[in-house]
Amino acid sequence: MRPPVVDIFIPCFVDQMFPQTGWNMVKLLESLGCKVRFNANQTCCGQPAYNAGFQKECREVSIKFLDDFSQEGSDYIVAPSASCVGMVRNAYQHIFVTSSNFVHYKAMNRKVLELTEFLTNVLKVQSIPGAKLPAKFTYHDSCSALRECGIKEGPRKLLGMVDGLQLIEMRDTETCCGFGGTFAAKFDAISVAMAEQKVENALSTGAEYIVSTDTSCLMHLEAYIKKEKKPIKVMHIADVLTSGW
């Protein structure tokens, strides 16, 4: 049986702020037997424009996304971001519902998956050889992962395969971190207060790391942590699953 062919989508935040997370996702997928492909022409999923109300500009970027990920031979399109996957899976339905691209979108949509749901639901991963991180961590359920993609237990199951890693659930783990894209810019005081609450809840567990599926959430929390000099770090789940290699 041939290995699954995976086209990877590297979101803006990963590309610009957390490039190592993208590399670690590739390492992880290849170690699990996938043939990984990367289209260097890819850009954005269109979410910033969509959230800001720029429908025309968003549609143009979304059409480019369809074109960028229409390569023949692809079995799946995988991204280390539930936020971007949620955009493609949900918002694109409204963007293309009256468009000639709708059929094209529907054919592609079934292949778009967030990294952890691909690992658990498609590859059925039962172990990650070599993964090791002796530390305590707490997990942040991002809004996009939980509410748009229905991701809850999968990441926790995968993190349980990392040798030495101990999960301590924090209070209000399903509460928003306060980022929300343009929300953080338009309502900065509320956004910072939400980040403070999330970080304090994490600190109360005694955890050394906050882990999540979304670099956007982690970037927001990390900014607060560094500004306030809090004794905790953030890690994307792809980085955790490849720790110790």
- Residue with the two structure tokens 């059929």: 103
Q: What is the pLDDT of residue 184?
A: 82
Phi/psi region, residue 166 (left: phi>0; alpha: psi -120 to 50; beta: rest), is beta
Q: What is the pLDDT of residue 27?
A: 98
Which amino acid is residue 196, in one-letter code? E
Taking only the tens of pLDDT, the chain with its 245 residues reads: 789 999 999 999 899 999 999 999 999 999 999 999 999 999 999 999 999 899 999 999 999 999 999 888 899 999 999 999 999 999 999 999 999 999 999 999 999 999 999 999 999 999 999 999 999 999 999 999 999 999 999 999 999 999 999 999 999 999 999 998 778 878 899 999 999 999 999 999 999 999 999 999 999 999 999 999 999 999 999 999 999 99
Considering the four listed CATH numbers 3.40.1390.30, 3.40.1350.10, 3.40.50.11810, 3.30.565.10, the one that applies to the domain covering 132-241 is: 3.40.50.11810
Query: So where are the chain's domains?
Result: 5-122, 132-241
Q: What is the pLDDT of residue 204?
A: 98
Helical residues (DSSP H) of the chain, grouped into ranges: 12-17, 19-31, 47-51, 55-68, 82-86, 92-96, 102-109, 115-117, 143, 153-159, 182-186, 188-203, 215-228, 237-241
3-state helix, strand, coil in the chain (%, to 5): 50, 15, 35
pTM of the model: 0.95
Residue 156 tokens read as: 């926790």
